[in-house]
Amino acid sequence: MDKFGQGKSSRAEPLGFRGKGWTRRGMLSLMAKGALAWPLLTKGSLFAATARLAQQSKIPPEWQLTDDELLEEIVSRAFLFFWNEAGPKTGLVRDRALADGTPDNRKTASIAATGFGLGALCIAHKRGYLPSHQISGRVYTTLNFLLKHVDHENGFFYHFIDLNTGKRVHYSEVSPIDTTILLCGILMAREYFNNAGITQLADALYRRVNWRWMLNGGRTFAMGWTLGHLLRVDDDVSAGHRRARVQHSGVGVECVLASL
């Protein structure tokens, strides 16, 4: 026998108990075996408990939904977030809201959430969740406020802004990523509504973005701008990769240097 209490072998393994206490290996081994054995030991009682719980919590017939009905429920409730959490006079959407649905007094809006909100308005219009004029009116209000009142630098917006004024908050950075998400919503609304007023505002916002400025003389976009400095966080990202990301976002590459 060797010092671990075992005969000769190519690899010695300590026993779980050495006389002075448990080894780490022994403890882990015991815990693993217990975890494997637990379902077998408790199978009967676990099944019985599950059956009792199922009997106690049967879904009322009126709550049972088909797949299509469930999808509709999810989509309509998602739309309500973007409708209820937007400033009615600005169209800017809160970055977050309280989970219990109570009124949220926080006034921080997100430029990205506003972009998602514009997409949600298109879907809501298609599905008839609210009268058509209300939804198209909200789109127009949003685009008009973005163009005329929201703080920006060379067409790029700050990530976080005040819900009611459009002014920068929380020392936020100018974000090309979140601006691009907004532009996706803007372009989607432009194409979907095909309204002269909406198209004019969307085109103005889209063409105002100075992509060359965000390149900062290089071949990749900076990740943001703050305090007068462009933040070049991922200069190692290839120009080809960046180009693909811009194209995928729906932003025309003709706005960027042709050499990309």
pLDDT of residue 237: 43
Distance set, CA 224 to CA 75, 84, 106, 179, 259 (Å): 32, 30, 25, 10, 22
Top pLDDT among 223 and 253 is at 223
Distance set, CA 45 to CA 35, 39, 50, 55, 58 (Å): 16, 10, 9, 15, 20
The answer to whether residue 83 is domain-embedded is yes
Q: How many domains does the chain have?
A: 1
pLDDT of residue 100: 83
Examine the pLDDT at 260 and tell me if it is beyond 70. Answer: no
The range of the structural domain enclosing residue 184 comes to 66-211
In tens, the pLDDT along 57-76 reads 666 777 788 889 899 999 99
Top pLDDT among 15 and 149 is at 149
Residue bearing tokens 């599950």:
50
Taking the whole predicted model, whether its pTM rises above 0.85 is answered as: no
The answer to whether residue 107 is domain-embedded is yes
The answer to whether residue 21 is domain-embedded is no
The answer to whether residue 34 is domain-embedded is no
Share of the chain above pLDDT 70, in %: 65
The answer to whether residue 49 is domain-embedded is no
CB neighbours of residue 50 within 10 Å: 10
The answer to whether residue 35 is domain-embedded is no
The answer to whether residue 223 is domain-embedded is no
pLDDT of residue 3: 38
Q: In whole angstroms, give the CA distance from residue 157 to residue 178.
A: 8
Mean pLDDT of 177-189: 97
Q: In whole angstroms, give the CA distance from residue 160 to residue 136.
A: 24
Instruction: Kindly indicate the confidence band of residue 43, based on its pLDDT and cuts at 50, 70 and 90.
Output: low
Mean pLDDT of 187-200: 97
Read off the CATH number of the domain in which 173 is found.
Answer: 1.50.10.10
pLDDT of residue 191: 97
Examine the pLDDT at 223 and tell me if it is beyond 50. Answer: yes
The answer to whether residue 8 is domain-embedded is no
Residues 6+ apart with CB under 8 A from 163: 87, 90, 92, 94, 107, 108, 109
pLDDT of residue 195: 95
Nearest to 157 by CA among 198, 97, 110: 110
Instruction: Kindly indicate the confidence band of residue 117, based on its pLDDT and cuts at 50, 70 and 90.
Output: very high
Contact by Cβ (8 Å): 159, 225: no
Q: Residue 27 corresponds to which tokens in the numbers above?
A: 């403890």
In tens, the pLDDT along 234-256 reads 443 444 444 445 444 444 444 44
